[in-house]
Structure 1
Amino acid sequence: MNESPQEKRQRALARMEEVYSMPFGDGEGEFWRYTADHLFADVWSRPGLSDRDRRLMLIGLLTATAGHDVLTIQVPAALASGDLDAETLREMVVFLAHYAGWPAAARLNSIVETEIAKAGKGSRDG
C-alpha cells in the first residue's frame, strides 16, 4: 500500500476505534507512533486472524503475564464490539485458571464480572 504518513495515521486511528469501540484522538511521541502506525495500522490490520481470534489470544496472554491494565481495556472492548460475550468471557476465566493460575484468573474474573455488570450483558447463571 502506497500511502502517506497522514493517511496511514488516519487508517490506524480508524482501526483503533474499531478495535476498542470508542473514539481515539491522535497522540504524540514515539510510543504513540509505534502503537498507532505499527500495531494498529499494520499488525491489527493483517489478514489471517479475526478480531475475535486476536482478543482470545491477547486476553489469555495478558492474564498469564499480569497485564491487568490492558485487560481493563480489552475486556470492555470485547464486550462492546461483540467479539466476546459474557458466557465466553466467563468460560475463559475457568479455562485460564488452570493454565495461568488461580490468582491470575481471579483478577481476570473481577474485571470480567465488573465489565459485564457495567454493560448489562449477561445474568449470572453459575
Structure 2
Amino acid sequence: MTDHGCAETTRARGLAKMAEVYGTEFQDYPGSHFAVTADHLFADIWSRTELSVRDRRLLLLGALTAQGAIDTAGIQIGAALRNDELTEEQLHEIAVFLCHYVGWPNGTKLDLLVGTIVAQQKKAARAEHDDRAE
C-alpha cells in the first residue's frame, strides 16, 4: 500500500476514489476487508493514472461477466450510467461483444441486466421528477 503520510490520509483517498467510481458517498467501516478495499484497491489501484476509471470499469465488466458474476457486474453498470461513462447503447454493445468471448449465457445475462438497471434508473428519475413537480 502506498501511504502518503498516514493511514487517515490513505483511507480518505480511498473513500474519495470509491465515491468517484460509484457516484455515491461511502462511510468508513471497521475491519481488515474494508481496509484492504479502501486503502489498497481504491486509494492505490483505482487511483493509478495509466487507465481512466472508465477503462478500469470496462475491464472489470469483462472480467465479471467472464466469471459469471453478473450480480456484481450490475454494480458497475449502475455506476457507469450514473457517472455518464457509458450509455445504455454502449452497455448493450458490450454484452453483444462479450457473448463471443465469454459465452452466450453470460453475455445474455449481462444484456438482460443492463435492460433491468436502465429501466430502474429511468423509473427512479421519473419519480424524482414527479416529486419535484408537486
**TM-score normalized by structure 2?**
0.85
Aligned residue identity for 1:69? D
Structure ID, larger Rg = 2
Distance in 2, matches of 1:6 and 1:32, equals 14
Distance in 1, matches of 2:114 and 2:73, equals 9
Q: Which residue of 2 aligns with 1:48?
A: 50
Q: Which residue of 1 aligns with 2:121?
A: 119
2:10 counterpart of 1:2: no
Matched length:
121
2:27 counterpart of 1:22: no
Q: Which residue of 2 aligns with 1:66?
A: 68
**What pairs with 1:99-114 in structure 2 (closer than 5 Å)?**
99-114=101-116
Q: Select between 112-121 and 79-88 the one with higher mean Cα deviation.
A: 112-121
Aligned residue identity for 1:86? E
Distance in 1, matches of 2:39 and 2:84, equals 25
2:4 and 2:10 in contact (8 A); partners too: no
Alignment RMSD = 1.4
Q: Which residue of 1 aligns with 2:95?
A: 93
Paired-residue identity, %: 47
Distance in 1, matches of 2:25 and 2:60, equals 21
* SS of equivalent to 1:120: helix
Q: Select between 2-11 and 86-95 the one with higher mean Cα deviation.
A: 2-11
Distance in 1, matches of 2:4 and 2:25, equals 26
1:10-60 CA-partner distances (Å, limit 9, x unpaired)? 111011011000111111111111000000000000011011111111001
Aligned residue identity for 2:67? T
* SS of equivalent to 1:83: coil
Distance in 2, matches of 1:107 and 1:21, equals 24
Give 5+ residue unaligned stretches, structure 1.
122-126
Please identify runs of 4+ aligned residues in structure 1 that moved more than 4 A: none
Distance in 2, matches of 1:21 and 1:11, equals 15
* SS of equivalent to 1:23: coil
Distance in 2, matches of 1:20 and 1:109, equals 20
Q: Which residue of 2 aligns with 1:80?
A: 82
